[in-house]
Chain A
Amino acid sequence: MKEVAVLGVGQSVFGKLPHKSVADLGREAVSAAIEDAGIKPKDIQVAYTSRLYDSMVTSQTVLKEVGVTALEMFNVENACAGGSTAVRGVWKDIASGLYDVGIAVGVESMTTSPIAGKLIPPAKDDLEGQLGMTMPTLFALLARRQMEEHGATLEDFAQVSVKNHHHGCLNPMAQYKKEFTIEEVLNSRMICDPITLLQCCPNTDGAAAVIMCSMDIARRYTTNPVKVAASVLLSGDYTFRQTDITSSPLGTQAAKMAYEMAGLGPEDLDVVELHEAFAPEEILRYEDLGLCAPGEGVALLRSGATAVGGKIPVNPSGGLLSLGHPLSASGVRVVAEITLHLRGQAGQRQTPNAKVGLAHMLGGVVAGLEAGACGIHILSR
């Protein structure tokens, strides 16, 4: 397998932008990535684009806006992990030597989708979906077990939101740049108890793009390339094998595979971007990724270590809660964010001396499975 580098990254502004088409959103992200990479549009040899709602040939729709046509294009979906899937696809093609330069794009227009303003449901004919299962429901059921098993409190859950909204204030691309107090988070409208509105990711429209290339090509453009040290995409196993729902076999296994590929451990990470569509969930992700021992996520949060300025900043971008969550874009956006930190380009939210970062995304609710998919990329410089 060849070494793969991240050459260019870009994202659109995130927000409620129903007047912007998917082509518009995608173009913003792709143009920014092409300019950031310093390549010409025609240098792109392969493209993977992810989009969940109402999609058809999204790669083609977006890339025609920047003069990129007539090459191998894929359109992929894995719910909220779709973006990671696109990144994984490009990585595979370059690592295997099929192509030298590729682009991964993720785009979502939530405000114009069929589920705008609604709770995200599983697929139409899903058994549990018929009985009332939705994304926030799943995480609310988990949150109650976190309270039961790990001693997590409502204030702990609210603290994740406070932390990530504070980070959002440091990010010019964020949908929400507003500070909140724990009281404000807890007193916001109840969605699925104990999850309140300010503990839920918003409806967000946006796009992100990452251009990757083989390491030898990267060295023509930069003396200090960002290396993709690990790329993992894994699907969920049966719930009949999962006794404790707060412990994620999917996340733990994906992380283990990523650390093995990269030849390092969680203690080597300087910065992390992960899936926290609902505030309580972030605490469990610390445990999957081995940032702390199982059951110790609450203690890690309370220590302040996962805030910007702390020992292991998590979601310095503002995360899904504050930067926003255009579903299929997020998996690409987290890779872009980690890249910025490694290059020292993350502005006010910069992690000092960041050398190794991990980008995680999770997606998909299916009756009988723990989750749909988990994508993890580790970048180093």
Chain B
Amino acid sequence: MAEKIPFREGTFIEEAEGGRLVGNKCKSCGQIFFPQVQTCLNCFHKELEEIPLSRQGELYSYTKAYMPASRFQPPYTVGYVNLPEGVRVFAPLKEVEGQSFKVGLPMKLVIEELWRDGDKEVIGYKFTPA
């Protein structure tokens, strides 16, 4: 059984039904950040609270790439999803047969393997049609 490691610590939590991205919110001005920040980048307040973000959002833009990037072999799709908290997330998109991507499409977060690193399964977040 391959060991699973997150592609980056502190960006998501796994749940029984998919997962959630984890951001943080400034206790002073209320600005929400993803990924989490150490100090509020808006008002410089030092106290923020960790908040799990909505699992669903709206597709803002997308593109299918036909040349390799990072560890992804083509073709692969990536896009921006707007979450209700006012956060826009860039992520790989997972296609669903029979459903083409279009701006405004409701999307939900899934946690799955992004790539293999030797015998380790590197996992991360993707969005897929809700």
On A, residues with C-beta under 8 Å from B are 118-119, 121, 127-134, 136-137, 140-145, 148, 189-195, 238-240, 245, 367
Q: Is B69 close to A, CB under 8 A?
A: yes
Q: Is B55 close to A, CB under 8 A?
A: no
Once bound together, how far apart are the Cα atoms of A20 and B51, in whole Å?
54
A140 touches B63 (CB 8 A): yes
Q: List 24 A-B contacts (CB under 8 A).
A: A119-B67, A119-B68, A121-B69, A121-B70, A130-B7, A131-B78, A132-B70, A132-B76, A132-B78, A133-B90, A136-B65, A137-B78, A140-B63, A140-B65, A141-B79, A143-B63, A144-B61, A190-B66, A193-B64, A193-B66, A238-B41, A240-B42, A240-B86, A240-B88
**Which chain B positions have C-beta within 8 A of A142?**
61
Distance in angstroms from A28 CB to nearest chain B CB is: 31
A131 touches B92 (CB 8 A): yes
Residue pairs across A and B with CB atoms within 8 Å: the count is 90
**Which chain A positions have C-beta within 8 A of B65?**
119, 132, 134, 136-137, 140, 191-192
- List 15 additional contacts besides A128-B90, A136-B67; criterion CB under 8 Å: A118-B68, A121-B70, A127-B8, A131-B78, A131-B90, A132-B72, A133-B78, A137-B63, A140-B65, A141-B62, A141-B79, A144-B63, A192-B65, A193-B63, A239-B88
B63 touches A141 (CB 8 A): yes
CB within 8 Å of A: which B43-78 residues: 60-70, 72, 76, 78
Name which residue of chain A comes closest to B32, CB basis: A240
Once bound together, how far apart are the Cα atoms of A192 and B74, in whole Å?
10
Distance in angstroms from B41 CB to nearest chain A CB is: 6
On B, residues with C-beta under 8 Å from A are 7-8, 11, 31, 33, 35, 41-42, 60-70, 72, 76, 78-80, 86-88, 90-92, 103, 114, 124
Distance in angstroms from B31 CB to nearest chain A CB is: 7
Name which residue of chain A comes closest to B66, CB basis: A190
Once bound together, how far apart are the Cα atoms of A121 and B67, in whole Å?
12
Name which residue of chain B comes closest to A124, CB basis: B70
Distance in angstroms from B30 CB to nearest chain A CB is: 12
Name which residue of chain A comes closest to B101, CB basis: A144
In the A-B complex, the 10 residue pairs with the closest CB atoms? A140-B63, A141-B61, A132-B78, A144-B61, A192-B65, A134-B69, A128-B90, A192-B63, A132-B72, A148-B103
Once bound together, how far apart are the Cα atoms of A136 and B62, in whole Å?
12
Once bound together, how far apart are the Cα atoms of A240 and B30, in whole Å?
13
Once bound together, how far apart are the Cα atoms of A130 and B92, in whole Å?
10
**Which chain A positions have C-beta within 8 A of B60?**
145
Once bound together, how far apart are the Cα atoms of A266 and B11, in whole Å?
44
Contact A132 to B69, CB < 8 A, known contacts A141-B63, A141-B80: yes
Name which residue of chain A comes closest to B11, CB basis: A127
Name which residue of chain B comes closest to A367, CB basis: B90
Once bound together, how far apart are the Cα atoms of A108 and B31, in whole Å?
40
Distance in angstroms from A137 CB to nearest chain B CB is: 6
**Which chain B positions have C-beta within 8 A of A148?**
61, 103
**Which chain A positions have C-beta within 8 A of B31?**
240
Contact A118 to B67, CB < 8 A, known contacts A131-B92, A240-B31: yes
Once bound together, how far apart are the Cα atoms of A127 and B42, in whole Å?
20
**Which chain B positions have C-beta within 8 A of A144?**
61-63, 103
Most chain B beta-carbon neighbours within 10 Å: one of A127, A131, A148, A194: A131
Once bound together, how far apart are the Cα atoms of A131 and B89, in whole Å?
11
Name which residue of chain B comes closest to A140, CB basis: B63
Once bound together, how far apart are the Cα atoms of A113 and B80, in whole Å?
30
